[in-house]
Amino acid sequence: MDCGGCERGIVQAPAPERSIETAIPTGGMVVTVIVDKHAWHKPLCRRARNMAPQGLPIDRSTLTRGQPNLA
């Protein structure tokens, strides 16, 4: 919806680029997983278990697959 005063209507900024082109996660989520694993030594199985109650049921193998490309 717009007020009708503008000829262009509503303009939306382009979305930021994704770290992994074909993936849905944002850069922030990817960084959080990598920092938890490497800086805090949190196993990916624990990270996956902690994400499930937040509405993000992600399998550990999914978290593992992106690691070599980003580390």
Tell me how many degrees the CA angle 52-28-22 measures, rounded to the nearest 5. Answer: 80
- What is the number of structural domains in the chain? 1
Q: What is the mean pLDDT of residues 9-25?
A: 75
- Let me know if residue 13 belongs to a domain: no
Cα(28)–Cα(5) distance, integer angstroms: 37
Q: What is the mean pLDDT of residues 2-24?
A: 73
The confidence score (pLDDT) of residue 19 equals: 65
Range of the domain at 49: 27-70
pLDDT for 70 beyond 60: no
Alpha helices in the chain (DSSP H): 27-38, 44-51, 60-65, 67-70
Q: Over the stretch 27-64, which tens digit does the pLDDT of each residue have?
A: 788 888 889 988 999 998 998 898 889 888 888 888 87
CA atoms within 13 A on the CB side of 62: 15
- Let me know if residue 51 belongs to a domain: yes
N- to C-terminal Cα separation, the chain: 43
- Whole-prediction pTM: 0.57
